[in-house]
Amino acid sequence: MKIGLISTYVKSTFLLLISISVILVGCERASQQTGILTTESAKQANAMIGSSNDSGVTGTAVFTQDGDQITLTVEIQGASPGLHGVHIHEHGDCSSPDGTSAGGHWNPTGVAHGKWGEGEFHLGDIGNISVGEDGTGSIALTTDLWEIGTGSDIDVVGKGIIVHADADDFVSQPSGNAGARIGCGVIVLEE
């Protein structure tokens, strides 16, 4: 009698495990087909923007991945009112007081400087951030042209984010004549 109970228990446990496995595989396939990301595949990178050239500018840059799309949101404070160029630069190095240690614009595709989404542009050509009378401003950009934490040529991690004193004119080579670097941050993978 005891052997029959054990056999029934083993069969029931086995069927339960198979059912759970089928459900988990089905959920995984459904999430892949609908584009829903699990927490494990979602990535985020951040940069704390500090003052360069004694400007007093500070802020944050947050890169958030949703599927193959990455959204960048930059928020700054302490800047003069008006337009200020914002770019990703080739080095995640803000050690120099003037921000020049971040190098030139990040340009892994080797094309001319320009305006994002129009003709040729560097992958680091974010655009202009509009700063109000209170010294704050923000800009957002969503793209599938970047990656986060992959180590590829188009990975934003390890690069620098620079806020400039002037507006980017989107024409002057190689950097849009945006003036001095007034803010600098290093883009790091959020873990």
Nearest alpha carbon to residue 190 among 61, 67, 69, 75:
61
Average pLDDT over residues 91-109: 96
Please write the tens of the pLDDT for every residue from 11-28.
Answer: 555 544 455 554 554 545
Average pLDDT over residues 123-133: 96
Residue 91 C-alpha from the chain's centroid:
15
Size of the chain in residues: 191
- pLDDT averaged over every residue in the chain: 86
- Residue-level pLDDT at 7: 53
Whether residue 135 is predicted with pLDDT greater than 50 in this model: the reply is yes
Nearest alpha carbon to residue 92 among 46, 152, 40, 44:
46
Whether residue 112 is predicted with pLDDT greater than 90 in this model: the reply is yes
